Amino acid sequence: MSTISVRPAPTVPPALLRRGAVGAAAVSVALLLGIQAAWAGTSAGTALYFALVWLTVAGAWVGVRRGRWRSPALCIAVGVTLSAVGDVLWEVQDSGADVGPADAVYLASYVSLGIGLALLARSATHVRDQRLAAWIDAAVVFFAVLLVVWELSIASTVNDESLDLVSRVVLALYPAMDAALIGLVVRLLAARRPGEWTSLAVAAACTCWLFSDLAYLLAADADSFGSLLDAGWVLGSLLLAVAAQPRTGTPDGSLSLRQRSALARLAVALGALVVPPAVEFSRDVTGGAEASGSVFVSMVVLVALLFVRCSIILRGEATARALLASRERYAAKLTAHSSDAVLVVARDGRLLTEGTPLAALLGIPATRMVTSGDAVALAGVDPQVAADLFAQALVAEGATVDAEIPVRHRGEDRWISVRLTDLSGDPDVGGVVVHVTDVTGRRRAEDALAHSVLHDGLTGLANRTLFADRVGQALLRTVRGGGSAAVVSVDVDGFKAVNDGLGHAAGDALLREVAARLRGAVRADDTVARIGGDEFAVLVEQTGDDEAVATAARVREVLAAPMTLAGTPVTVTASVGVAVGRGDAGAESLIGDADLALYAAKLAGRDRMETFSPCMRAQAREARELEQELRGALDGGEFRLVYQPVVGLGDRRVTGFEALLRWDSPRLGPVGPDRFVPVAEAAGLMGPIGAWVLREACATAATWLRDHPRAGEFSMAVNVSATQLGSPDLVGSIAAALAASGLPARCLVLEVTETALVGDPERAAACLAALRALGVRLALDDFGTGYSSLAHLRQFTVDVLKIDRSFVSGIAEGEPLPAIVRGTIDLGRTLGLEVLAEGVEHEHQARLLAEGCCDTAQGYLFAKPLERTDAEALLLEQAAVRRPQVPAPRSRVGEAVRPA
């Protein structure tokens, strides 16, 4: 398959495009002017002339709008417009009159243009003397040009007796105003910036108008120059329209540009002095009249203006010298208040300069410093260090010697930077130059930065980087001196509940309190670090393995003591992992082993200590694999619920169900709750999973109650984990599940374990009270397997006691009811609680429990955990065998009612 390559089109530089556009525009204008000249005197030529004139007017106003209506461009556009209006009036006024209304409009256009040029010149200069000098330059050029046009035109016009006074004044004003415009233009050209074309356009425009005005006044028959005159006026208007466009060019405030501008203006001013002698010389050559008063007056005016101009130059130089002196004084004052001290020391150690700067740096009287040795002593520098540096500078032969040395000044530790350069051979110096700078602030900032890099900002403990370094050093010491080093990894149980329930400020306060307690629980040589979040670590440098276990025990003990956060009493526990290593282990490896032991402690139920063993690596890999799969299981719909019936031991009818969670992983297959629930709790995933279980169980129970009313009312039991019980969102999520499903609150039973309650008893009691306020029932699961159950029953109000399966499933045929089971049943009946026995697998176990007055039971004897359809079928079966209560029919009057 062939391919066709396409060569990209060449790129035209923007500058070339702009030049091409300008060239095309110039050619177009030249063609139009040529056509207009060819048609001069005809109606077509007149129409083309006015079209060109009003086209320039439109272009001028477009430029004003693009330039955001700036005053100079606005005045230029008004001038061009007035000139065009004057052309229209000239065309319609009486051709026999010398002057008319058109002349007034023409002269007004000159005034508007002059104002615009003055504003342009003003914006280019901001200094008062410079503005005055610029006006003098413009005046010099104006008088020089005025003298020339006076000799060429104005004098003859003023002396023409055939014209009336008004006509002579009006006709003389045209070249005079042209001269004024030329003066302003020269001023602009002298200060022109590189790339700025406004001044050039205005200069060319005024030249065109001056040419046409002079030609009109000088020519005896102006009509013979009609095409040239029109071309000058049209081209001048067009250039003025171009000048009204937004200004371009990059401002350049460099000294060289200002010097070139000043030289250009001075050259123009001096050149103006040549004009009067040149005029007189021209008269002599051409045989004209002798020098008139105009030449003398112009010469006097020009000399006077130049005198003022030179005065301004001299005053500017004086001002510059004063400014230079002021800057020198400014620099001296800055040096006097600088943090640097500069000294010159002779090769024999004598101070060759004044010691005031160094005295100011040290904060001592300058009179106390006589020699460099005195300065060293007063600065608090070690004399030997100072002598070594001075010797190095002498040997370096002009090379700079740098050093930062500590000093002890007025009981305070400080740092100074010293730079020494031997300039003894320099006749202007004649000694060793010493620069002294106080760098105490920088060194302290560097120390603070280094501390922040290696320490935790919240607790001030070592961070993971510093801790790993300390562990590595401790392991190296075990190689040299024997013994061992251990890492105790600590995780604060319940931190998330405090952080979420009491706020981040309370969470930060908890972490600071934990850090303080850990410091108090370890030895002075041990290192305590905050690894991240609520995880801490302790480096124990020991002589035997028992010290790490003892440290872990002390850590758990001090963290279990109650504390008060945000006015609320809080109790937390700690999961602890211990790993012991020697020199053959790496720092990160030992820290990782301690983390694995900590993870095992969390999986085992938290609030315990585990010591690392190699088998934990495989267990950790499995747990992390489960955790990875668990993170997408809920969204992937991999969870389901099964339902184990709860039956009454009296009539064997179903009184409720317990919802049990099952997980079918696409990759791992069926995973039991005993495997994935601890992993989910340790990874913080049990919150959303438990919320889903609640919603699903409530929705199922509500559907069954609504669809099978004959089966009677039953309860739905849901297990609540320790992490859920500590969550502030538990009550809200249960209320939302009940409201969404429509399940009566009395039909929901929440099962909690003693282990979940005793971690933070006060918080657990408050949570159970809030749940009871919703109307749900509470069951104490696995009763009798953990702690002092009677004490907890007095503290935690529940509705159901569940006898653990370990007490029931082991009852053999012919054995009596165990005393612990009988005691639990009696305790429940005394307290008015429902007693439920788990793990009933044989008929003789159910018979003994019934004889012992146990209320309900569940186990494989009655049914295994059932899928939803099977559990619903069990309800249907129970509804079918239940005989409905049929009310007896009412008897008629006088008739007996036969029993059914």
Nearest residue to 702 via CA among 740, 729, 676, 664: 740
pLDDT at residue number 410: 66
- List pLDDT tens digits, range 759-803: 667 777 778 888 888 999 999 887 766 554 565 666 678 899 998
pTM, entire model: 0.47
pLDDT of amino acid 694: 94
Residue 842 has pLDDT above 50, yes or no: yes
Q: Cβ distance 266 to 316 under 8 Å?
A: no
Pairwise CA distance, residues 727 & 756, whole Å: 12
Residues 6 or more apart whose CB falls under 8 angstroms from that of 563 comprise 510, 513, 569, 570, 571, 572
- Note the pLDDT tens digit of each residue in 593-604: 999 899 888 877
Return the pLDDT at 265: 54
Mean pLDDT of 836-855: 92
Higher pLDDT, 776 or 728: 776
Structure-block tokens of residue 253: 């405030």
Alpha-carbon separation of residue 735 from 452, 659, 690, 731, 773 (angstroms) = 46, 18, 14, 6, 11
Residue 507 has pLDDT above 80, yes or no: yes
pLDDT for the residue 4: 34
Residue 847 contacts residue 815 (beta carbons within 8 Å): no
Please state, in angstroms and rounded to a whole number, the distance separating the CA atoms of residues 690 and 734: 10
Buried b / exposed e over 280-299, threshold 16 CB at 10 Å, is: beebeeeeeeeeeebbeebb
Q: What is the pLDDT of residue 397?
A: 80
Q: Which of 155-164, 172-181, 479-488, 889-898 has the lowest mean pLDDT?
A: 889-898
Query: What is residue 796's predicted lDDT score, i.e. its pLDDT?
Result: 74
**How far is C-alpha 140 from the geometric centre of its chain's CA atoms?**
60
Asked whether the predicted pLDDT for residue 457 surpasses 90, the reply is: no
Please check whether residue 405 is in contact with residue 381, taking contact to mean a CB–CB distance below 8 angstroms: yes
For the segment 361-377, the average pLDDT, to the nearest whole number, is 63
pLDDT: which is higher, 806 or 660: 660
| 3-class secondary structure, 43 | helix
Residue count (the chain): 900
Phi, psi of 802 (to 5 degrees): -105, 115
Burial class (CB in 10 A: 0-12, 13-18, 19+), 818: middle
- Rounded to whole angstroms, the Cα distance separating 338 from 481 reads 54
Q: Is the pLDDT assigned to residue 489 strictly greater than 60? A: yes
Confidence of residue 85 (pLDDT cuts 50, 70, 90): confident
pLDDT at 660: 95
Please report, for residues 165, 251, 567, the alpha-carbon distance to residue 830 in angstroms, rounded to integers and kept in the order given.
136, 100, 38
Percentage of the chain beyond pLDDT 90 is 17
Minimum mean pLDDT range among 29-43, 479-493, 639-653: 29-43
Among residues 105, 115, 18, which one has the least CA distance to residue 70? 115
Q: How far apart are CA 579 and CA 610, in angstroms?
A: 9
Beta bridge partners of 642: 660
Look at 124 and 242; give whichever has higher pLDDT: 242
Is-contact 528 538, C-beta < 8 A?
Answer: yes
How far is C-alpha 672 from the chain's CA centre? 47
Segment 829-852 shows an average pLDDT of: 91
- 333-342, 451-460, 657-666, 847-856: least confidently modelled range: 333-342
With CA atoms as reference, report the closest residue to 603 among 499, 497, 491.
491
pLDDT at 37 over 80: no
Q: For 665-704, what is each residue's pLDDT tens digit?
A: 888 889 988 888 888 887 778 888 999 999 999 999 999 9
Q: Round to whole Å and give the CA distance between 599 and 596.
A: 5
Instruction: Give the Cα separation of 660 and 672 in Å (integer).
Output: 11
Tokens of 702: 């509500």
DSSP code at position 3: -
Cα–Cα dist 601/552, whole Å: 12
pLDDT, one tens digit per residue, over 197-235 is 566 666 666 667 656 665 665 554 444 444 555 666 666
d(CA 240, CA 79): 9
Residue 256: C-alpha distances to residues 191, 193, 316, 321, 447 (Å): 12, 12, 17, 18, 48
Q: What is the pLDDT averaged over residues 561-582?
A: 86
